[in-house]
Amino acid sequence: MKKVKGLIVATFAAYKPDGSINFDLIPAITEHMVAQNVKGIFVCGTNGEGPSLSTEERMQVVEAYMKAARGRLLVFVHVGHSSIREARRLAAHAEAIGADYISAVSAFYFKPNTVNNLVDSMAEIASAAPRTPFYYYHIPNITGIQVDMIEFLELAGQYIPTFAGIKYTASTINEYQACLHYKDGKYDILFGYDELLLPALAVGAKGAIGSTYNYAARLYNEVINLFEQRKIEEAEQLHFHAVKMVQLLVKYGPIPTQRAIMKKVGLDLGDPRLPLQSLNADTERKLYEDLASSGFLELVNSL
């Protein structure tokens, strides 16, 4: 299987004032991603609030993105669910409508307690889409699943025929590098910590999935370009602008802050579903003041 190179955007959920999904906005979101020269989109993941949507809503969202993408972007469909039966429904649906890849987090209420148990769970989900490459979504800070990813690769390769690799959303660069080198790079290990993209490139990353690529893909693409040209000092200086921007996400809250930034760039996604909440007016004003003083969005637009 050909490995994915470049940036994949983890898209945000969009809602109408009544809390229903704003399907009308999905074409505009998609065009925004195409204009930023990314390779694909990751739908109904963490940013897309997949766990807060019903199975039917998730299917409808994926269908809308498939229609809007029209083959111009790779489409990764997150099918993870605390119910493996529902995850299988989502996987089968994604394959039926032609998604390029599927991915799943572990169940996060009743959790697998061993690597074998985790692989069994992922194999059950992946088997519902037997012709679609499958990526395990490793995000231990959210799921609480802390297992050795090398052990996982060893078993997943044996028991999941469609296993393609891992969406690796963790800061453990040493383990990430070990996964890249496993069996001479047999699997595709896509990096998922935006503020560590440059260190990940340094240890061999070729593809990445992230949230800040929604509005800053141009900056990260230029970091990649500079790195590939061996202009390391310039890459580091540009990457540090992204690090400082991510500090604002820590300050104000990752998803609410990024949804406010999306409104700033012209895509008002509405209020997220509880327990997530939008920034209040005063906090949003302070965020925009911080963004303005940093010049971050102006820098991105200049690239």
Catalytic residues: 137, 167
Burial class (CB in 10 A: 0-12, 13-18, 19+), 158: exposed
Q: Which residue has the tokens 């394959």?
A: 95
Q: Contacts by 271-274 with C-beta closer than 8 Å and gap 24+?
A: 271/15, 271/17, 271/19, 272/13, 272/15, 272/49, 272/52, 273/13, 273/15, 273/19, 273/49, 273/52, 273/53
Strand partners, 40: 8, 74
CA distance 127 to 115: 18
CB 247 within 8 A of CB 291: no
Would the annotation count 209 as a binding residue?
A: yes
* Calpha distance 87→292 (Å, rounded): 42
Residues marked as binding? 209
